[in-house]
Amino acid sequence: MKTMNEWTTEASRSVVRHLEQNGFEAVYVGGAIRDLVRGERPDDIDIATSATPEEVMRLFSHTIDVGSEHGTTIIVQNGEMIEVTTYRTETTYSDFRRPDEVTFVRSLEDDLKRRDFTMNAIACRSDGTIVDPFDGVRDIEQGIIRAVGTADERFSEDALRMLRAIRFAGVLGFTIDDDTFRAIERNRSLLAHVAVERIVQEVDKLLEGKHVEHGWTMLQQTQLAEQLPPFDRIDRWTFPLREATPSWAYIFSMSGDSLGSFCTAYKLSNERKRAIRRFHEAKRLVEDEAWDVYATYSYSVHERVVGTLLAGGSVDRRAFQVEKEALPIQSFEELAATGKELMKWTNRRGGPWLGELIRAMERAVVSGQLLNEEQRIRKWVMEHVDER
């Protein structure tokens, strides 16, 4: 295991040290410790402490209150933002996603009890000592996702945890403990209480996971996919790209819905909706064997790759790139004449004719029928302007 100086920052060590010097307990927690046990360098560092938010803000001069009612404070230390959360316990979850009440406690073990899975209920003290009351290290070493305590209780507290188990299976390649697996089956209908935005965040991580095929199998076998139509129509995950938006385009292709209703159901962003539309336009061109030089110009290499995969075709990204780079122009901005010049040459004001003429000129240049030279273009314009 890495030494503390190898994976923690000086700013985070300074925060922990200052809390300890003032009589409080402070430990590193969460995914960072899971990554550490797996021999990976943690991306994020989270600190938990026995100090209340008020005590934290009193001890440090530069703090940001980002949710003190839930125990979270940001400490600005040496220009770095360190998230510190007070040990806490939680009461009932009437809406299956947020605790009705949060109580700050001084006990680290009480705080770890409320966490979702044993692999995430591990803490590390400043001297490198691991605190592992639920054998999370053993489960990590054996590749097991196991709920802390009673799985039904954890999932009734926050139903998203069921999907998190699937996501971790898809990202880490871990198996789901039998009791935890059966609890997901029993409680799967609770996912309906979870905000769709939170669901999409987890699905994105699953779709980008190294072991997405395994995670998808778990999604089907636990029957959680029934709560996420049309996920239940895809028995096996075969889409080869580990990218969220192209994968959503693949899921959409199985939905039978309009793009608008699909994106509305999952509250996908307009940017993602546009990308999915472009991927499917490219898909149709491939399926209809209508891909031509102008399609190569109009779509990015990535859009062509995704469209080809959605159509079930074979991909040669390098060949696609070579074709793209061989085009006379890469965008209409590279045309040797502008709209202003076209109006000047023709002595006409702007209007629909101008856009039509530019598009026709663009297509002629891309197809090789017209050289991208000003004099050639001017001659071509004067020959074609009366057609508009």
The CATH number covering residue 369 comes to 1.10.246.80
Indicate whether 285 and 167 sit together in one domain: no
pTM of the predicted model as reported, rounded to 2 decimal places: 0.91
- In this structure, the number of other CB atoms found within 10 A of the CB of residue 40 comes to 12
Indicate whether 52 and 129 sit together in one domain: yes
Indicate whether 89 and 211 sit together in one domain: no
Indicate whether 249 and 226 sit together in one domain: no
- Residue stretches of the chain with pLDDT short of 70: 1, 92, 95-97, 387-388
- What pLDDT is attached to residue 304? 99
- What pLDDT is attached to residue 207? 99
- In this structure, the number of other CB atoms found within 10 A of the CB of residue 307 comes to 26
- What pLDDT is attached to residue 177? 98
Indicate whether 4 and 106 sit together in one domain: yes
Domain that holds residue 218: 143-238
Indicate whether 296 and 206 sit together in one domain: no
- What pLDDT is attached to residue 96? 67
Last residue of some domain: 327, 344, 359? 327
Indicate whether 118 and 3 sit together in one domain: yes
338 to 86, 126, 276, 329, 352: CA distances (angstroms): 62, 65, 31, 14, 15
Q: Alpha helix (H) ranges present in the chain? A: 4-7, 10-21, 31-37, 53-59, 108-113, 136-142, 151-157, 160-172, 178-187, 196-207, 212-221, 244-253, 259-265, 270-287, 293-298, 301-310, 317-325, 339-346, 352-366, 374-384
Indicate whether 2 and 132 sit together in one domain: yes
Indicate whether 230 and 339 sit together in one domain: no
CATH of residue 116's domain is 3.30.460.10
CATH of residue 215's domain is 1.10.110.30
Last residue of some domain: 191, 212, 238? 238
Question: Considering its fold, how many domains does the chain have in total?
Answer: 4
